[in-house]
Amino acid sequence: MKTEAYIKSPPKELYVLDYGLFKVHANGRVIGICGFLIRTTAGENILIDTGFPRKYAYDFAASSAEDRLGEFGEVLDLTERNLPPAQLALTGIAVADVDILIMTHTHIDHVGGIADFPGRPILMSRAERALERPSYWGDLRPFDWPDREYLLIDADTEIGPGIRVLHVPGHAPGQLAIEVDLPETGTVLITGDAISRPSEIDEGFGGSWDVARACESGSRLMQRAEQSGAFVIYGHSPEQWPKLRKAPDFYG
């Protein structure tokens, strides 16, 4: 594992951010759209993912039609309170207080606010940043890469004491997961969409960018979780989502 000292102090709190609810047409599955905030003992703030584009908070129907997202599913609940500024406010910080943004990958429900943190570095996979534009949804690529400092990784990387970013391609070319060592909760493994829900492991990760690599990455993550006794937070688990502590509550 590589070490890059982007963060200077260990984590003390992990907040789950509620970026709204989405229903998948094919199976009727209702999934939470989540982001995360890690706060360190020195007051550093690490934001993970940014949810849907803000236009979805103001006009579900027109936005879905514009993006053809209705071919896949339906946004059920997404208002201004589900956008990053409001979710961060629940934790007591503002957009300007974010020190670094981590993008687990660039699908539409994660990349929506990528340009909304001016002057802040973006940590992501080198493979994802190598795409001509963020992958967004289907064959649509409406976003340009924002003009930022990019911190690019292509292997598991410890970015600070007790914070590890894991390179787990498969769902997307540059899919990332994050391990956080908290003082009371212990190790938390945020799988992102590398494992959207526990059943995806048995189902074989169908629909992934690279199914074979997705299976390999999913297996590796679960082995790590078993070895460390980690609390696993899945990317979009309908069963787990209602049970997770949401901001302003946190895992410490």
The residue among 173, 168, 185, 169 whose CA lies nearest residue 224 is: 168
Domain membership of residue 71 (yes or no) is yes
Domain membership of residue 95 (yes or no) is yes
Confidence of residue 196 (pLDDT cuts 50, 70, 90): very high
Domain membership of residue 81 (yes or no) is yes
CB 8 within 8 A of CB 98: no
Amino acid 60: pLDDT: 87
Q: What is the mean pLDDT of residues 47-53?
A: 98
Domain membership of residue 65 (yes or no) is yes
**Could you tell me the CATH number of the domain that includes residue 39?**
3.60.15.10
Could you tell me the pTM of the whole model? 0.97
CB 56 within 8 A of CB 109: no
Confidence of residue 156 (pLDDT cuts 50, 70, 90): very high
Domains contained in the chain, number: 1
Rounded to the nearest integer, the mean pLDDT of the chain is 97
DSSP tag of 246: -
Percent of the chain with pLDDT over 90: 96
Confidence of residue 76 (pLDDT cuts 50, 70, 90): very high
H or E element that contains 60: helix 60-67
Residue 12: give the domain boundaries. 2-243
Q: Per the omega criterion (within 30 degrees of 0), is the bond before 10 cis?
A: no
Domain membership of residue 252 (yes or no) is no
Domain membership of residue 251 (yes or no) is no
Q: What is the mean pLDDT of residues 234-240?
A: 97
Amino acid 143: pLDDT: 95
Q: What is the mean pLDDT of residues 141-162?
A: 97
Q: What is the mean pLDDT of residues 109-125?
A: 98
Domain membership of residue 198 (yes or no) is yes
Domain membership of residue 17 (yes or no) is yes
Q: What is the mean pLDDT of residues 111-126?
A: 98
Amino acid 26: pLDDT: 86
Euclidean distance between CA atoms 217 and 175, whole angstroms = 9
Q: What is the mean pLDDT of residues 72-86?
A: 96
H or E element that contains 48: strand 45-48
CB 151 within 8 A of CB 6: yes
50-54, 57-61, 129-133: segment of lowest average pLDDT: 57-61
Q: What is the mean pLDDT of residues 46-67?
A: 95
Q: What is the mean pLDDT of residues 76-104?
A: 98
Amino acid 128: pLDDT: 97
Amino acid 24: pLDDT: 94
CB 25 within 8 A of CB 37: no
Residue 3 has pLDDT above 90, yes or no: no
